[in-house]
Amino acid sequence: MAASLLPGMVQAAACLTFGNNTTLFGSTDCIEWTGGNFLVTGTGTLSGADIGLHASGTISGRTLTNLGTIVGTLAGMQNDAVLAQVQNAGLIWSTGTGVTVAGILNTGSGSITSVVNNTGGSIAGARAGIFNEGSIATISNAGMISSNSSFGGTIAAIWNDGGTITNLTNTGTLQSAKIGSFLTGFGVVTENGAIETLQNEGTIVGQLGILAQDNARLGTLTNSGTLSGDIAGIFMDASTAGTITNTGLIVGAPSSAMGGSFDAGIYLSRASSVSLLANSGTITGRNAAIQLDSNSYISTITNSGLIAGDLTSASVIPLSIAGGSGNVFGTLTGASGGLGVADKGLIKVTGANLVFSGGNLLLNNDIAAVGRSVLNYGATLQVNNPITITGNYSQTGGGLAFNVVDTSSYGYLDVNGSAAISSAAIGLGGTGLANGQSYTVVRATGSGTYANNTAFVSTNNGLLAQLSDVNGALTVTIAPDAQTHYWDGANTVADGTIAGGSGTWTANGKNWTSTDGTANGKLDQTDVRPVFGGAAGTVTVDASHGAIAVNGMQFSTDGYRVTGDAIGLAAATSAIEVDANTTAIIDSTLNGSGALAKTGSGMLILNGVNTYSGGTSVSAGTLEIGDAAHPTASILGDVAVGSAGTLRGHGSIGGNVTNDGVVRPGGSIGTLTILGNYTQSPTGTLFIDVSPTAASQLKVSGTATLAGTLNVLYGPGTYSATSFRIVDATSVTGRFASVTSNAPAELAQSVQNLADGSTLTLAASGTDNGGGTDTGGGTDNGGGTDTGGGTDTGGGTVVIAPTNATIFGAAASAAIREGQRVNDTLLARLGQDCADAATPANCARPGRQAWAQIVSNSVNVRGNDDAPSYKDRHYGFLAGLDQQVGAWTLGVAGGYSHVDVTEDEASGKIDTLRIAGYGSRRVGAVTLAATVGAAYDFLKTSRSFPGPGKARGDADAQEITAGLQASLPLAAGPLTITPRLGLRYLYLHTERFSESGSTSQNLDVGAQDFNSLQPYAQLVVGLPFSMKSDKPAVVEARVGYAYETLDSNRAFHATATDGTGFTLPGVSPSRGMFSAGMGLTMPVSKAMDLTASYDRLFDTGNVSGQTFQLQATYRF
């Protein structure tokens, strides 16, 4: 795609020579730097006709620090020596226009340990900001590195030509040059060399964001920022990459400015390859999201985010795509990113098959596999629209979920070939489902073969789904579900509802009802499939009136617990479905000769000593064998974990386990025992929780056959050198293909594969942790994924900080905002609404009046202080009663509010009860007002982590509020102009609490105090206009400004389970708050007014929001 550097290296002209430590304050010509450290101060300028600074000589370990300007025609700096560090907070650049020009040129004989471009720093050159032919261990950019020429394909922000860059980290901008509105050149180029690790948290932009060409190697690419190219985000030409992990945006031709057939998010040509593409962000392109030529391939694509655009592969190697796990679905759709019929894209394979290897995928792309096949090995596909598949379709296991709008508009697979589906869960969902409807969900022009599939209706418990093969088409028919198998709790008489709740389950009990709640009776024995909905509760099984047996169960409400006597599984396979966001616990023993199939994306916990003997399958969601309080829980027989399933628990399994999904011993830290053999497939994951003092363990009495992924989740705390036995077996074959974790770079981890198990060894980075020796003939797979968050405290210890822990500060801010809003509401009410010159009858306050308002508001807060952005949504009511007492107006108010706070991986809820007193009196022309109040807050928080784990907090908080205000109503013709000045104060105290939940991430969060004092000024303009009533209506406009003078820091203090203390950051809200609003007060009778108002908080810092209020006032 681009030429290499022209022959002939840049050479420095005759310059001054410095060989000792040097500091430059003023301006000078070029310098030959042969020894010592070199500092260019903020007032220093070093300029050369050819080279500004030329590093040469044999003395190693030197450091250049630039705070000023280093400039040359051919290069700002050229390095032919061995340097420790180049640190730039100023400007290093070249002014020439040739293709050999660079800001920093590191020649083939040059070596630099670290290049750091700080925030505000700039490195620029015509050919490249940094051009490397030698060795650079680390480039870290927080500023701007760019090319500034117009040579198109020969320029880049960073160009690695045959050299090695071990680690490139960008949190700033890497940008090629611009000609008008067109980018020219590339963001990052590597050719004939290697960039071992590239981590982008900022912006990389060019015609091609990243170009790897001519046998280049890109080891690991991690993108959480924006990687954009006017042609392609990533272009690989005759090159290889290991793992590409995207949690941000990779985009090709975002503005379609360049055009051309290469417009793609990721494009691979001429025998290029990627081992793993893991996407949980967005990959998109104008022509294609991903495009592969016939000699290139991506071994595996895992998508739990959005791939928007066509996927085109001419490769002779199958295109393999896996989806998200648990409740997470990866989306495959067209370039618009929408999910409608018009938004569909295309997946096209011409040289090999398309494989869906597992997980959850929302499929909104047609598939062209002419002469090939689409093979689904256990994935669950969500199909909202008609999807055309040209080629054969085969599926074993997994699921197909079809969305229904009505009988003429629903999702289905239109297969222009043969279809074969077996052992799959076929689901219908949508509001348009009704009795007697039929939906042809798989339509094959060739043969259709369907075996051992199950059907269910996911969004309506009053309907049953039945499967049939109609001339090679798979049809789902909705049948009325009038049997009495809906749990009605303690109700034995029909009342038109499905109550649910607690009660006793007996063989002759009549606390089962129909779908409409109009007929109660015994559990129907025609279709013995009890459904537990309505309100959650404890269901006590009492077999004294006869044995209890079922063909399956469904739990659609979170929080049910079934306890007491045994329950028999009567069917050959009894499906227990637990719906999304639902956890069900069965303490009762499950017995019988049949099998259990765990379906639905929720979690089922079996705490009994279960004796059913037909085996277990987990096709979706989570099955937990024994929670932490029930380590004696057990099941018999074999367990098969599907690609969308998770098996976990503290108990034991009597047979063999095959894992195509996730196995997580404990769930929190604990041991899961398998009395037979354990086999993990290449798509399977063993998930291990680790704390500073313990780790989960998979204990296998037979042989453990390992493959796939080991995923390690470290809880917060202080880690020192230690080792944990994570797999303990009689014998072990195979090894994990990859290891991922949240381990920071400071924590060195390695996995030793032993003859009878696997050991995880930890040490501070740089400390000898045993070298990863494989005593069982295996390899050391350590290393994990660096997600940051660790601190090397010295002495061989590393502290891992909590994650997703900024929700506490966000919740505190939301509580403070709501309290100050109520202060403002009460004080605004007390401002005189007309001037003395107005009609006295319209100004006089009544002796007594009552008022009530409902309010809804929303606030968006951008992140800072290492805390992410969040939103809060609020609704509530406030009511009061006030009356005249002499010269005073005195009143009392009370109310309730609810706030929902949401971050990416955490959420919070606040319920508040509030009471306040308020009063005002006129002093001359000025109205003085005051308020004082108190509130009690009930706070709940939830932090989510990989796998089905959440840390939940439940705390109380108290508020004290107060405010003072002076207002001066002035008449200006028909207008009343009222300036208001005042102070609003709030004190918030949050009590200490400990998180709960089945996760090693739980924290003990300390009590915290916050003070808020906000002086404010507001100008209100009211315009009365006549109505038919005696009292005029008033339209009001207002503008105001408030300033937070006290606490803006929202940090909390917490401790991990090992006692390590942490300061948890929180978003600091902007101190200045500029707002404006309008309101309309309308008299609806002589005694009653209605007021509607809207207020806007403008984004002058990092907080913006809007508020709607509706108020009624009644005068006695």
Q: What does the pLDDT look like over 231-257, one tens digit per residue?
A: 999 999 999 999 999 999 999 977 644
Tokens of 437: 């409807």
Best-predicted range by mean pLDDT (43-52, 152-161, 602-611): 602-611
Structure confidence at residue 746 as a pLDDT band (50, 70, 90): confident
DSSP symbol at 535: B
Structure confidence at residue 481 as a pLDDT band (50, 70, 90): low
Q: What is the pLDDT of residues 961-974, one digit of tens each?
A: 999 999 999 988 88
Q: Name the residue type at position 565.
A: D
- How many H-runs (helices) and E-runs (strands) does the chain carry? 2, 105
Structure confidence at residue 921 as a pLDDT band (50, 70, 90): very high
Chain centroid to Cα 98, Å, comes to 45
Task: Name the residue among 234, 224, 282, 222 with its Cα closest to residue 262.
Answer: 234
Best-predicted range by mean pLDDT (362-366, 405-409, 711-715): 362-366
**Is the pLDDT confidence value at 847 over 50?**
yes
**CA dist., res. 839 & res. 460, Å (int):** 62
More confident residue, 39 or 791: 39
* Alpha-carbon dihedral angle through residues 244, 250, 256, 259, given to the nearest 10 degrees: -10
**CA dist., res. 1086 & res. 276, Å (int):** 73
* Candidate from 9-23, 400-414, 449-463 with smallest mean pLDDT: 9-23
Q: What is the mean pLDDT of the chain?
A: 89
Q: Which residues contact 819 (CB under 8 A, 6 or more apart)?
A: 914, 935, 959, 961, 986, 988, 1012
End-to-end CA distance of the chain: 83
**CA dist., res. 876 & res. 852, Å (int):** 11
Q: Are 1013 and 1044 in contact (CB under 8 A)?
A: yes
Give me the residues paired with residue 216 across strands.
none
Q: Phi first, then psi: what are they for 112, rounded to 5°?
A: -130, 130
- For residue 417, the model assigns a pLDDT of 94
**CA dist., res. 48 & res. 55, Å (int):** 13
Q: Are 779 and 771 in contact (CB under 8 A)?
A: no
| Torsion sign across C-alpha atoms 75, 77, 82, 88 | negative
Q: Are 309 and 264 in contact (CB under 8 A)?
A: yes
**Is the pLDDT confidence value at 335 over 80?**
yes
**CA dist., res. 831 & res. 826, Å (int):** 9
Q: Is 753 helix (H, G, I), strand (E, B) or coil?
A: strand
**CA dist., res. 947 & res. 999, Å (int):** 10
**Is the pLDDT confidence value at 13 over 60?**
no
Q: What is the pLDDT of residues 74-85, one digit of tens each?
A: 999 999 999 999
**CA dist., res. 880 & res. 826, Å (int):** 9
| Torsion sign across C-alpha atoms 475, 480, 485, 486 | positive
Q: Which residues contact 612 (CB under 8 A, 6 or more apart)?
A: 569, 590, 591, 592, 593, 594, 595, 596, 635, 636, 637
More confident residue, 183 or 1092: 1092
- For residue 844, the model assigns a pLDDT of 47
740 class by beta-carbon count within 10 Å (0-12 exposed, 13-18 middle, 19+ buried): buried
Burial profile 1023-1037: b = 16 or more Cβ within 10 angstroms, e = fewer: ebeeeeeebbbbebe
Q: Is 406 helix (H, G, I), strand (E, B) or coil?
A: strand
Largest alpha-carbon pair distance within the chain? 105
Write out the residue limits of the CATH 2.40.128.130 domain(s) in the chain: 807-1115
Q: Name the residue type at position 531.
A: V
pLDDT > 70: what percent of the chain?
Answer: 91
* C-alpha neighbours within 13 Å on the C-beta side of residue 953: 33
Q: Is 674 helix (H, G, I), strand (E, B) or coil?
A: strand
Bin 893: left if φ > 0, else alpha if -120 < ψ < 50, else beta: beta
**Is the pLDDT confidence value at 783 over 50?**
no
- For residue 154, the model assigns a pLDDT of 75
Structure confidence at residue 286 as a pLDDT band (50, 70, 90): confident
Place of tokens 């069965």: 586
**CA dist., res. 213 & res. 211, Å (int):** 6
Tokens of 808: 């506490």
More confident residue, 844 or 879: 879
Give me the residues paired with residue 2 across strands.
none
CATH number of the domain at 807-1115, out of 3.20.20.70, 2.60.40.1170, 3.40.190.170, 2.40.128.130? 2.40.128.130
**CA dist., res. 262 & res. 252, Å (int):** 9
**CA dist., res. 691 & res. 999, Å (int):** 10
Structure confidence at residue 294 as a pLDDT band (50, 70, 90): very high
**CA dist., res. 86 & res. 79, Å (int):** 10
Give me the residues paired with residue 752 across strands.
759
Q: Phi first, then psi: what are they for 1060, rounded to 5°?
A: -65, 130
Q: Per DSSP, which regions of 350-447 are E strands?
A: 354-358, 360-363, 365-376, 380-383, 386-396, 399-406, 409-410, 412-416, 419-422, 425-429, 438-444
Task: Name the residue among 632, 631, 628 with its Cα closest to residue 609.
Answer: 632
- For residue 734, the model assigns a pLDDT of 94
- For residue 381, the model assigns a pLDDT of 95
More confident residue, 432 or 534: 534
Question: What's the angle, vertex CA 175, arms to CA 171 and CA 178, rounded to 5?
Answer: 155
Give the H or E element holding residue 826: helix 807-830
Task: Name the residue among 595, 594, 640, 648 with its Cα closest to residue 623.
Answer: 648
